Amino acid sequence: MNLFYRIVRVFVMQKIPVDYKINCSSCGLKSLCLANGLNDLDIVQLDKLVDRKASLYKGDHLYSDGQHLKSFFAIKGGIIKVYSFDSENKEVVHGFYLPGDVLGLDSLAYNSHPFNAVALDVTNVCEIPFNKLEQLTKTIPDLNNQLLNLMSQEIVNSRRHSSLLAHKTAEQKLAFFIYLMSSKFKSRGYLHTQFRLNILHKDVANYLNLTPETVSRILTKFNKDEIVSWIKKEVNIFNEEALKNMAGE
Amino acid sequence: MNLFYRIVRVFVMQKIPVDYKINCSSCGLKSLCLANGLNDLDIVQLDKLVDRKASLYKGDHLYSDGQHLKSFFAIKGGIIKVYSFDSENKEVVHGFYLPGDVLGLDSLAYNSHPFNAVALDVTNVCEIPFNKLEQLTKTIPDLNNQLLNLMSQEIVNSRRHSSLLAHKTAEQKLAFFIYLMSSKFKSRGYLHTQFRLNILHKDVANYLNLTPETVSRILTKFNKDEIVSWIKKEVNIFNEEALKNMAGE
DNA sequence: CGTAGGTTTGAAGTCAATCAACAGTTGTGG
DNA sequence: CCACAACTGTTGATTGACTTCAAACCTACG
Other Cβ atoms closer than 10 A to A241:
8
pLDDT range class, residue A53, cuts 50, 70, 90? confident
| CA geometry: angle A34, A108, A131, nearest 5 deg | 65
From chain A, the residues in CB contact with B159 under 8 A are 84, 94, 106, 158
Q: What is the pLDDT of residue B20?
A: 58
Interface mutation target, options A134, A142, A151, chain B, most CBs of B under 10 Å: A151
A48-77 as b/e, with b when 16 or more CB fall inside 10 Å?
ebbebbebbeeeeebbeeeeebebbbbbbb
From chain A, the residues in CB contact with B106 under 8 A are 152, 155-156, 159
- Taking alpha carbons only, the member of A235, A216, A221 closest to residue A178 is A235
Q: What is the pLDDT of residue B22?
A: 84
From chain B, the residues in CB contact with A134 under 8 A are 141, 144-145
Helix (H) or strand (E) holding B62: strand B61-63
DSSP E strands: which ranges in A98-244? 102-103, 116-119, 124-129, 194-196, 228-231, 234-237
Integer Cα distance of A114 and A129 in angstroms: 19
The pLDDT averaged over each successive group of 10 residues in chain B (249 residues) is 36 41 89 94 95 91 89 95 90 95 90 90 94 91 92 93 95 97 94 95 96 97 96 95 92
Q: What is the pLDDT of residue A16?
A: 38
Read off the pTM.
0.90
- Give the dihedral sign, CA B38/B41/B46/B52: positive
Integer Cα distance of A37 and A41 in angstroms: 12
Integer Cα distance of A117 and A68 in angstroms: 13
User: Cα A37 vs. chain centroid, distance in angstroms?
Assistant: 21
B167 touches chain A (CB under 8 A): yes
- Taking alpha carbons only, the member of B75, B62, B77 closest to residue B18 is B77
Assess whether pLDDT exceeds 90 at residue A81.
Answer: yes
Sorted by sequence, the CB contacts under 8 Å of residue A93 that are 6+ apart come out as A81, A82, A83, A203, A206, A207
pLDDT range class, residue A20, cuts 50, 70, 90? low
Interface mutation target, options A140, A162, A173, chain B, most CBs of B under 10 Å: A162
Contact between A122 and A55 (Cβ < 8 Å): yes
Other Cβ atoms closer than 10 A to A237:
21
Contact flag A151-B153 (C-beta cutoff 8 Å): no
How far is the CA of B39 from the CAs of B43, B99, B128, B145, in angstroms? 6, 21, 18, 13
User: HSE on the CB side for B178, CA within 13 Å?
Assistant: 35
Would you tell me which residues have their CB within 7 A of strand C?
Answer: A 58, 169-171, 209-211, 213-214, 232; B 200-202, 212-213, 215-217, 219-220, 231
CA of B173 to C1' of C12 (A): 25
Contact between A158 and A75 (Cβ < 8 Å): no
For β-strands A61-63 and A194-196, DSSP reports them as: unpaired
Contact flag B86-A149 (C-beta cutoff 8 Å): no
Other Cβ atoms closer than 10 A to A210:
22
Nearest-by-CA chain B residue for A249: B87
From chain A, the residues in CB contact with B152 under 8 A are 105-110, 151
Burial (CB count within 10 angstroms: exposed 0-12, middle 13-18, buried 19+), residue A155:
buried
Predicted confidence (pLDDT) per residue in A177-235, tens digit: 999 999 999 999 899 999 999 999 999 999 999 999 999 999 999 999 999 999 999 99
Q: What is the pLDDT of residue B113?
A: 82
Predicted confidence (pLDDT) per residue in A112-163, tens digit: 888 999 999 999 999 999 999 989 998 998 999 999 999 999 999 999 999 9
| Nucleotide in closest CA–C1' contact with B210 | D18
Instruction: Determine if strand D comes within 7 Å of the CB of B214.
Output: yes
Q: What is the pLDDT of residue A92?
A: 94
Contact flag B106-A159 (C-beta cutoff 8 Å): yes
DSSP, collapsed to helix, strand or coil, labels residue A169 as coil
Phi-psi region at A229: left, alpha or beta (left = phi > 0; alpha = psi -120 to 50) = beta
User: Cα A150 vs. chain centroid, distance in angstroms?
Assistant: 14
- For strand D, the positions having any atom within 7 A of a protein Cβ are 1, 8-13, 17-22, 27-29
Assess whether pLDDT exceeds 90 at residue A19.
Answer: no
Integer Cα distance of A60 and B156 in angstroms: 23
Query: What's the gap in Å between the CA of A230 and the closest CA on chain B?
Result: 24
B193-204 as b/e, with b when 16 or more CB fall inside 10 Å?
eebebebebbbb
Q: What is the pLDDT of residue B235?
A: 96
Most trustworthy range by pLDDT among A8-12, A14-18, A86-90, A209-213: A209-213
For β-strands B80-85 and B116-119, DSSP reports them as: antiparallel
Which residues of chain A between 183 and 222 are close to nucleic strand D, CB under 7 A? 200-202, 212-213, 215-217, 219-220
> Which residues pair with residue A74 across a beta bridge?
A102, A126
Helix (H) or strand (E) holding B205: helix B201-207
